[in-house]
Amino acid sequence: MKKAYVALLRGINVGGNNKISKQPLEELCAAIGWTGVRTHLQTGNIVFSASGNTGGLEKQLERAIHEHFGFPITVVVRDAAKFKSYLAQVPFAAQVVADPSHVLLYVTKLPPREDAAKVLTSLARADEAVAAAGGVLWIYFPNGIGSSKLTPALIDRAVGSTATGRNWNTVSKIQELCSQ
């Protein structure tokens, strides 16, 4: 039985590397049997329907991307209901209203380590905030990600697996796509 999912690709179309346009990505997803494929932006945000489990769907798209585009990409898949639950648990409610582009949701390939938020908080700038909620991490970067010490590699080490982040504006749009 098919159900709705969200796939988040890490590291495409960043700094001119790993270029994948929306249409070829949507076509590739359809070619592997996914239906109702919709994307948001060109940063690897996909809403689709398919049969299978999240791990199997991740491997399926990772393999297809590598074969079709010629480079490896990490894919994190969550069912749409789980993804929506993340937004309901955002710990930075005031910031998502006042400064939504600086509140980021980090979804991890494997469940984050229990102490990930504590470790990242100890390494963050004084004005940054890190919180774990519902199996994901949220980070508030009031001065932007570019000036933060919390690099993608550091976040990955703290959580114990690959993490991919999306700002509140993007996750809100993905949630809208899930509702369509």
Tell whether 96 and 169 lie within a shared domain: yes
Tell whether 64 and 113 lie within a shared domain: no
Domain extent, residue 21, equals 3-80
Tell whether 41 and 92 lie within a shared domain: no
pLDDT digits (tens, 9 = 90+) for 131-159: 999 999 999 999 999 889 999 999 999 99
> By the 8 A CB rule, do 174 and 83 touch?
yes
162 pLDDT above the threshold of 90: yes
Tell whether 67 and 122 lie within a shared domain: no
Q: Letter for the amino acid at 162?
A: T
More confident site: 120 or 147: 120
57 pLDDT above the threshold of 80: yes
Question: Which region, left, alpha or beta, applies to residue 18 given φ > 0 means left and ψ of -120 to 50 means alpha?
Answer: left
Q: Letter for the amino acid at 96?
A: V
Q: Which residues are registered as beta bridge partners of 138?
A: 105, 131
CA distance linking residue 139 with residue 107, whole number of Å: 11
User: Where does the pLDDT of residue 15 fall: very low under 50, low under 70, confident under 90, or very high at 90 and above?
Assistant: low
Closest CA to 137 of 122, 153, 117: 117
Structure tokens that stand for 72 in this block: 């490896």
User: What local confidence, expressed as pLDDT, does residue 20 receive?
Assistant: 87
More confident site: 132 or 14: 132
Diameter over CA atoms, the chain = 48
Whole-prediction pTM: 0.94
Within 13 A of 122's CA, how many CA atoms are on the CB side?
5
**Residue that finishes a domain, picked among 24, 53, 80:** 80
Mean pLDDT of the chain: 94
* Domain tally, the chain: 2
Q: What is the CATH number of the domain that holds 89?
A: 3.30.70
